[in-house]
Amino acid sequence: MLHRYGLALASTLLLSWPVAASAADTIKIGFPIPLSGPAAVYGKPILAGAEMAVAEINAKGGVLGRKLEILSRDSKANADEAVRLAREMIIKDRVDFLAGTLTSAEAPAVSTVAKENKIVFVAPSAKTTMLTDPQHIHPYIFRVASNTDVEGLAGATLMARWKDVKTVATIAPDYAYGRDSAAAFIAALKKVRPDIQIVDQEWPKLGEPDFTAFITAQMGKKPDAVYCSLFAGDFVTFTKEATPRGYFKAINNRLIDGAEVGTPDEAQALGSDYPYGIIANSYDPVLWSGNEPAAHKTYIENLKKFTNTQYASGWSIVGYQSIYALAAGIKKAGSVSSDPVAKALLGLKWDTPVGERSFSVKSHETFAPEYWGEMVKEAAYPFATIKDPEVLPKSFPATN
């Protein structure tokens, strides 16, 4: 009968049914992050930084006698995909903790998964204030990245220095990060330079292949300067389309970008097409002129060896910091359970190659100032670098 073969098929299916992972000796960290698409140029080095941290920690014997293990998956910078992967890793792979995600769409979504499953989630790069504001905060979310308010203050401080700028425009990707960063910048700017008028705001979608219409529309409004929140592959595409149209020339390169396009990763991606003269930032200047901390020098040497690249990445630091933070929390709690670890992480201080960091007890964030400066072409390097990187903002009033 038909059902006899149905039965045969069903039994075959049952026998080869995918099984959930059995408890192993390693401490598993689920790491969904964009590994393909325009965002991968940031996502891949963050993962590399995290993996290097894991390798270092494991070489010293791991945490609480157990080794760490990262399970990485390609989230394609999609909130939907990141949530699905996070849930799968919790349910199927039985991860102990979550880290990763890149964008401010992915992180808040994964944060809800972390909250529901009571698993600690350390976000290395998402900046939207929504992640840790009073409405969304919960015991298990922690952020290593800066946030849009801090970024906006730094951007406004720099913009305010140009006394002859009277009109400003913004261009930002149309999602939480873009909206928050533009708004925070404008709010901060109003405080220091109420005379500046915002004449245009453009909102291309994340992953936009063709910025032309936005570019020409913005140029038509003739701003004196621009605050830009485009990043990763989008910034590359935008630049390639904007430069031949005279976009940067029209504003005398007075563009400030707070989305880490000052990293060597981005600079190498753009190569000689980089719009020299703009102001950009990075969590890690990588090529440090001046008094480089010894810890940073060692970290960069190790990173170059680990990733087998000639120039280290400016993004790996946040992945690296996230893992070390998590490890410190596990050690302090003396447990791999998320509840004690979450408590241990509050107010926890830990060392990083760019200085000490700590998680605020109230907002679960770190105060992470970044290195800002003009992007120039120095003879020593084949790509743009930050000239005289300045740590901004100097301080920040506690958020929420």
Partner 1 sequence: MTVATTTAVLRRRATATTALRHRVFSGRVPWTLVVFIIMATVPWIGSRYDTFLAAQIVIDALFAVSLNLLLGTTGLVSFGHVAYFGVGAYVCGILMKTYAVPFSLAFPAAGLGAALFALISGYFCVRLIKLYFAMLTLAFSQIIWAIAYKWNAVTGGDQGLPEIPYPHLDWMSAIPGFADLSIGDRFYLLTLVLVAVSLAVVHRVIRSPFGRVLTTIRDNPERAAFLGINVRLYQLAAFVVAGGFAGLAGALYGIFSRGVFADFVFWSKSAEILIMTILGGAGYFWGPPVGAAALVWLNQAITDYTQYWSFVLGAILLVLLFGFPGGIVGGLDLLWQRLKRLRNA
Partner 2 sequence: MSASFLFSQFMGGLTTAMFLFLIASGLSLVFGVMRVINFAHGSFYMIGAYLAWQAVQWLHPTGGGFWLAALFAAVGVGILGALTERLFFRSLYGREELYQLLFTYALVLILGDAAKFIWGTDQLSVSTPPALAGSVQIFGTTQPLYTLFIIAIGPAIAFTLWLVLNRTGAGRMVRAAQMDREMLDALGANVATIYTVMFALSACLAGLSGALVTPIESIVPGMDVLIIVQAFIVVVIGGMGSLWGTFWGSVIYGQVLSFGILIFPGFSLFSVFALMAVILIVRPWGLFGRPL
Edge-to-edge order in the sheet of strand 197-202: 197-202, 167-171, 225-228, 255-257, 279-282, 370-376, 385-392
In terms of CB distance, is 205 or 297 closer to partner 1? Answer: 205
212 interacts with partner 2 by CB under 8 A: yes
Between CA 106 and CA 375 the distance in angstroms is: 29
- Return the residue of 24, 80, 191, 210 that touches partner 2, per CB under 8 A: 210
- Return the residue of 213, 295, 361, 391 that touches partner 2, per CB under 8 A: 213
In terms of CB distance, is 79 or 137 closer to partner 2? Answer: 79
Whether residue 133 contacts residue 165, with contact meaning beta carbons closer than 8 Å, is answered with no
80 interacts with partner 2 by CB under 8 A: no
Whether residue 355 contacts residue 258, with contact meaning beta carbons closer than 8 Å, is answered with no
Distance of CA 352 to the CA centre of its chain: 16
In terms of CB distance, is 97 or 214 closer to partner 2? Answer: 214
74 interacts with partner 2 by CB under 8 A: yes
In terms of CB distance, is 125 or 218 closer to partner 2? Answer: 218
- Smallest distance, Å, CB 151 to partner 1? 18
Partner whose binding site includes residue 313, from partner 1, partner 2, none (CB under 5 to 8 Å by kind):
none
36 interacts with partner 2 by CB under 8 A: yes
Partner whose binding site includes residue 380, from partner 1, partner 2, none (CB under 5 to 8 Å by kind):
none
Return the amino acid letter for 164: D
Taking the CA of residue 303 as centre, how many other CA atoms within 13 Å lie in the half-sphere pointing to its CB? 27
- Return the residue of 207, 306, 340, 387 that touches partner 2, per CB under 8 A: 207
- For residue 9, with 0-12 CB atoms within 10 Å meaning exposed, 13-18 middle and 19 or more buried, which class applies? exposed
- Given the DSSP bridges, would you call strands 279-282 and 355-358 parallel, antiparallel or unpaired? unpaired
Closest CA to 340 of 45, 181, 94, 140: 140
Distance of CA 87 to the CA centre of its chain: 21
Tokens 């004690």 appear where? 340
Rounded to 10 degrees, the C-alpha dihedral 361/365/366/370 comes to -160
295 interacts with partner 2 by CB under 8 A: no
In terms of CB distance, is 80 or 292 closer to partner 1? Answer: 80
Q: Which neighbouring-strand residues pair with 33?
A: 74
Partner whose binding site includes residue 307, from partner 1, partner 2, none (CB under 5 to 8 Å by kind):
none
Partner whose binding site includes residue 209, from partner 1, partner 2, none (CB under 5 to 8 Å by kind):
partner 2
In terms of CB distance, is 219 or 325 closer to partner 2? Answer: 219
Site map (CB under 8 A) of partner 2, residues 177-206, x = contact: -------------------------xx-x-
Between CA 323 and CA 333 the distance in angstroms is: 15
Partner whose binding site includes residue 217, from partner 1, partner 2, none (CB under 5 to 8 Å by kind):
partner 2
Where along the sequence are the contacts to partner 2 (CB under 8 A)?
A: 35-38, 40-41, 44, 74, 76, 202-203, 205, 207, 209-210, 212-217, 219-220, 233, 236-237, 240-241, 244-246, 249, 269, 271, 273
